Structure 1
């Protein structure tokens, strides 16, 4: 028994060491990017390269908001993210309806929603653009937001989770005189916190990284998001690597922070939704 325990400890030690080393290797590019964001432009190109900035400065971040319109891009990105959270609520309602309401054609409609997941988003962009153009919504913030409100994958996850909620609990609330909106907002949402956390993280990441659709639908750079602004930065200041590192760090760090604090909800939410 002692030999087996010792063997298990050695195996765990080897696995832990390999995982730590692998994690450090994956973190090296991000650490380099973050540290380079605080270096002067001349120091980034020094050889041999320096790891830590010898003359740390925040000038690169200042230039993002003075030479470029990163303040405008940040505002637009926040609007897109907040609108995506409104869409998250709509998706939750749709998932709840598919899970707990019986109506004619429910299964067929749900499979129709699922079938849209098999179509690449790039394929639908042209017809969506034509539709929004006829509605006069091209080059508008509303045109950027509308296509992101309904997401089939989000509806699917909510539906999978809602099916685990006992019907007796909902019927008891109805017998007590609770209305449907009261049941959803005061009963279902508190129970569904894990899946809301998962979808909230995924929604934030998708909204924060929105690039292709804003680039297509908007011709005015005052409507661009941070991802589009970062692409413009790489084109306009292709030789200023310190400024590019600052822009990339400004984009990535919020996502890392969000993921770090809420990563446990991702595993919990996927598990409780019946996904392996």
Structure 2
């Protein structure tokens, strides 16, 4: 079974297991059900398709799945907007057929000089970076490269927010609310996996984390799909202390697999003053490895 087929199979199983039959007007009772959630037969009935067809879809054996069928399954499973997008993405290879175009290329993404110029222009005041496919960190400015982890000192293959959050031992000290951050990272990574189900780099990152991190396996197997593209982060930086920063993510329209992420704090706030201190330390070269960095996107 290919990676994309594993994704659609695991996702549909998890989503029907998460539903309470009573909420849908279906008979419940553990004495009548071997497992929690909906049966395949019930999902098929709610979606208005045959049990055999739904079973083939869930097992990754159905090809050329129509939009109307995917919409019907989404309604039956009460999928959110992000989950509907994910389902469409992982079903796309089957709608193209076995001989359809391959997934996106693997690592090797580059950032245009104009984008690096923009990053550098914000370097002393606004931490910023560019995140690519699979949550790889492709470029950054002075503050962005040191707001959590010393990115310039890292090997290119390790500049990945998911790898840092789950495998770097300093990540939990940097993120007091580590569990929430971990869930956000996995939600973003799963959305990426849905867009590029056969991407070699994404498969590499997911497989390494499944092998090395029990926490990642636990969160990944919950099959949650959501993209956290804006919000507030609470960091405890080893050099400058507590940071309460707002982040915003901007898709680069001419570079569709890249996202510009910026961090900021209200003018005059303690965090703004600490970011200024961090910029001074970075400028004089007094920062080394500081902890795990978790960018959005």
Q: Which has the higher contact order (CA 8 A, sep 6+)?
A: 1
- TM-score under structure 1 length normalisation: 0.26
- TM-score under structure 2 length normalisation: 0.25
**Larger C-alpha radius of gyration, 1 or 2?**
1
Higher strand share: 2
Higher helix share: 1
